[in-house]
Amino acid sequence: MMIFWRMFLSHLLADFTLQFDVVNRLKRKNVWGMLLHCLTHFFVSIVLTWPYLTQTWIHIGPVPVNGWGAAALMLIFHFVIDQLRVHSMKQLRYKDGTVSFLVDQLLHVYVLFMISPVNMADTGVFLAEKWTGIACMFVLVSHVSTVLIYFIEKEFFGKAYPGFDEKYFLIFERLVLWSFFFVDGLWWLPFALAWVFQIFYVRRKRIIDLSRLNIALSIAITCGLGLWTRYIYYGSLNL
């Protein structure tokens, strides 16, 4: 699963970290903006899988497909999936919400799984290369969680996308909590609990306006990903 995890990291970086507001607007505006976004994913995936691009990744019938061909297939499918999502919102008036976001992400991950080899330096489904897995968890805790929590709050409260201060304050809060899961033994637990208490204190003092749902989701997602990160880092939960 090594190649899959590297491709997954390329997806997270391109779809979240490197998808700036201007890119997001352009891809919804015309086909050239969409192509720019998809090419970003293509180039990031090429950089991350460079040593393996000439090797055969998959077979389509009797035809072997190497890394270059697989990355090209990914580019095509990424374009089609995202274009269909934009079309459904603009032409069919389909709501851009939590369901559409999750379906979109599941389709992307499914494509990455289908084009990735499963027997090249296989380290298991949930245990990636250490640096790749930790990088994936970092992006999931920071940028992916921001978007997911926004969509869920939008469903319940009609809330707008968080502004710069709120967005990066919450990213900081989640990343600090996540970092405690690297601490050896059980020492991570009191630090994590103290930081969770601090988050509730911030809300109570109205230092920044946070809903209870936002806090609950932030803590739950971060702790879940933190335990997964700990498994990747130590090879076990190391409790």
* Domain C-terminal end among 91, 125, 159: 125
pLDDT digits (tens, 9 = 90+) for 156-197: 888 888 887 788 889 999 999 999 999 988 888 898 899 888
Phi/psi of residue 123, nearest 5 degrees: -115, 10
**Domain shared by 98 and 150, yes or no:** no
**Domain shared by 96 and 159, yes or no:** no
**Domain shared by 24 and 106, yes or no:** yes
**Domain shared by 25 and 105, yes or no:** yes
Residue 36 corresponds to which tokens in the numbers above?
């720019």
**Domain shared by 154 and 183, yes or no:** yes
Contacts of 32 (CB under 8 A, 6+ apart): 26
Between 81 and 91, the more confident residue is 81
**Domain shared by 21 and 113, yes or no:** yes
pLDDT digits (tens, 9 = 90+) for 101-117: 999 999 999 999 999 98
Between 95 and 60, the more confident residue is 60
Task: Determine the structural domain holding residue 191 and report its residue range.
Answer: 134-234
Q: Are 219 and 196 in contact (CB under 8 A)?
A: yes
**Domain shared by 29 and 112, yes or no:** yes
Domain count, the chain: 2
> What is the mean pLDDT of the segment spanning 135-143?
96
User: pLDDT exceeding 70 applies to what percent of the chain?
Assistant: 94
Q: Is the pTM of this model over 0.75?
A: yes
Residue 12 corresponds to which tokens in the numbers above?
């997270």
**Domain shared by 150 and 214, yes or no:** yes
Residue 119 predicted with pLDDT over 70: no
**Domain shared by 178 and 91, yes or no:** no
Between 221 and 204, the more confident residue is 221
C-alpha 22: how far from its chain's center? 19
pLDDT digits (tens, 9 = 90+) for 24-65: 888 888 889 999 999 999 999 999 999 999 999 999 999 999
**Domain shared by 17 and 96, yes or no:** yes
* Helix residue ranges per DSSP H, the chain: 2-12, 21-29, 31-48, 67-90, 98-115, 130-139, 145-157, 164-179, 188-204, 212-234
Contacts of 89 (CB under 8 A, 6+ apart): 28, 95, 96, 100
**Domain shared by 65 and 180, yes or no:** no
Q: Is residue 73 assigned to a domain?
A: yes
| Cα–Cα distance list, 90 to 62, 86, 126, 139, 209 (Å) | 40, 6, 37, 29, 32
